[in-house]
Amino acid sequence: MKTLDFIKQNIGNKVYITGGDLSINPVMSRIVNNKIELTLIGLSRGGRALVSDDRGRVYSVRPSNVREVGN
């Protein structure tokens, strides 16, 4: 399945973010390292995945960094 298809099919589902270059940012580093569950909102016009935390904060990340939370 292509990343774009994955994002479109999982809007509204719980996801987590994988690291790499995101670990430079202290806020994103905490989210990545603790595998905090986020809700996938959709795609931005620029093709970035939009995710939100339980406090309503929205983050924009590369779709390739988004993984579905396993049951």
Taking only the tens place, the pLDDT of each residue in 32-58 is 999 999 999 999 999 999 999 999 999
Q: Does domain 3-68 have CATH number 3.30.559?
A: no
Predicted TM-score (pTM) of the model is 0.87
- Which region holds residue 36: left if phi is over 0, alpha if psi is between -120 and 50, else beta? beta
Q: How far apart are CA 50 and CA 43, in angstroms?
A: 6
Domain ranges of the chain: 3-68
Q: How far apart are CA 42 and CA 50, in angstroms?
A: 5
pLDDT recorded at residue 40: 96
pLDDT recorded at residue 71: 52
pLDDT recorded at residue 1: 65
